[in-house]
Amino acid sequence: MARRQEDQVDGRANCRLDAAALPLHQLSLFCALLIAATLRLSVLTHDVRFHPDEALYATYARRMARYGDLLLSDAPLDKPPLGLLVNALSFSALGEHEFTARLPAAFFSLLGVAASYRLARRLLSQRAALIVLAILTLSPFDLAFSGSAFHDPLLTLCCLLCALLISYERPFLAGIFAACAIATKQSALQFLPIYLLIGAMALNKLRWRNLLRFSAPILTVSLALVAWNAARAAPVDFWTLGVINPGALRLIRSDEVLPRLARWLSLYSESVGFAPLLLIGAYGVWRAFKAASLAAASILLSACGLLGTLLAYWLLAFPLYDRYLLPLVPLTAFVIGYGMAAWRRLAIVAALMLMLPFTLRTVGNAHSIGIQSEFYRGVDQLAAHINALDGAPLVYDHWLSWELRYYLGDSPRAQLVWYPSAEWLARDVCHLPTPSYFAAPEAAAWRWLAVLNAVGARLQPIARTPLVLYQITCEQP
């Protein structure tokens, strides 16, 4: 693969830099990164309660930070520990708050924007790289997860840095970030090959010694993960749970085909907010088919990675989790940026302006992408009411276990008991110790109340936050 000259672009996209243009380019880069940082800080400061998975990760990280429990032997972990360790370090350094749990993701997201720009500058052109930078700065998807405690921003950053360092023939450093990606989430194994191939497009030739340098950190970290997993001595190791929990071990059923397709396309469109902009990516792929250059080959690889991953998510029974798409957002920006690079400047600005309403919506509601944050509103107040109860109350729950376990604190007096259905709880409710309580979202509790009333249990609301805490009393036969 021949190395491309750094500023080569084709057609009207040819935009050579000279000494006079350089300050304007640097100013544009600085302003874009400043806007990216401002938007991510705005999202980070939202007063939003944890999503259940965020609460679970934060609970584990708190144990690591407070007690040095790095093994979490009794926890059903389904992922490697690096993301949890990062959250634990944030807790130790800055205190245990929602803000500090989410702060690392904002930092990783901003670094990811910068790394995406540099990778696009290396593989495509300066013009395309600036467009990629603008797209990721405004991306509702990237913004939403920059204000979360999920580990996907760290995974995405590691993949980007791995590709970037490979493109500059820095195999050992690239191997370190590849190892960090694997130590963050097992899904790194599906994204790293895509990013590695894209980064390798910039190399003159592949050298065996570089392959060894790249592999050394990965092997070292893999052995460390094996040792950590063995030391945990958990009943089921995290690799096995990581395969079982997503449920992607089967093809989807015929009745799932259209609903899953619609859902994934709806979530994927949030990468740019204004869904028709994705058609520009198709135009970019068409341009790449007609060209014979490093940039074109990189775009075709990005498109293949996008299409292959989306097909796997659709046709295999992966959960419909929006965060699974986050590592695809930079690739989407690459193909759209390449397509837009052939346009006139005014057309590029107009297209980017179409993203603004969706960007502002996300800034106004940080968890607007696939997460119903209003469902968990008031869970911290509910936990405070439970902690104020006398004695060691028994609290039954179906919806809020992971969130309550975080907000109740490390050593709650209350005992949380999860039940899978109203019928199961009705069978036991009047035969278990008292006092007992039932925590539920008010809109979802009516069926449970009816079933429990039918067996003689009476539920009196004693706190609304707007989640409801009911006190249970049973009629004597």
Cα-trace Rg, the chain: 25
Main-chain dihedrals φ then ψ at residue 461, nearest 5 degrees: -65, 130
* Rounded CA separation 284/217 (Å): 35
* Rounded CA separation 19/25 (Å): 10
54 Cβ partners below 8 Å, 6+ apart?
A: 101, 102, 148, 149, 150
* Rounded CA separation 376/121 (Å): 42
**Residues 275 and 269: beta-carbon distance below 8 Å:** yes
Q: What pLDDT, on a 0 to 100 scale, did the predictor assign at position 374?
A: 65
Q: pLDDT averaged over the chain? A: 89
Which residue ranges make up each domain of the chain?
11-367, 377-474
Q: What pLDDT, on a 0 to 100 scale, did the predictor assign at position 21?
A: 53
Q: What is the pLDDT of residues 137-173, one digit of tens each?
A: 999 999 999 999 999 999 999 999 999 999 999 999 9
Q: What is the pLDDT of residues 275-303, one digit of tens each?
A: 999 999 999 999 999 888 889 999 999 99
Count of other CB atoms within 10 angstroms of residue 210: 19
Among residues 241, 258, 294, the alpha carbon closest in space to that of 75 is found at 241
Q: What pLDDT, on a 0 to 100 scale, did the predictor assign at position 418?
A: 92
Low-confidence stretches of the chain (pLDDT beneath 50)? 1-20, 370
**Residues 229 and 293: beta-carbon distance below 8 Å:** no
Q: What is the pLDDT of residues 221-253, one digit of tens each?
A: 999 999 999 999 888 889 888 888 776 678 999
Q: What pLDDT, on a 0 to 100 scale, did the predictor assign at position 12?
A: 43
pTM, two decimal places: 0.91
Q: What pLDDT, on a 0 to 100 scale, did the predictor assign at position 92?
A: 97
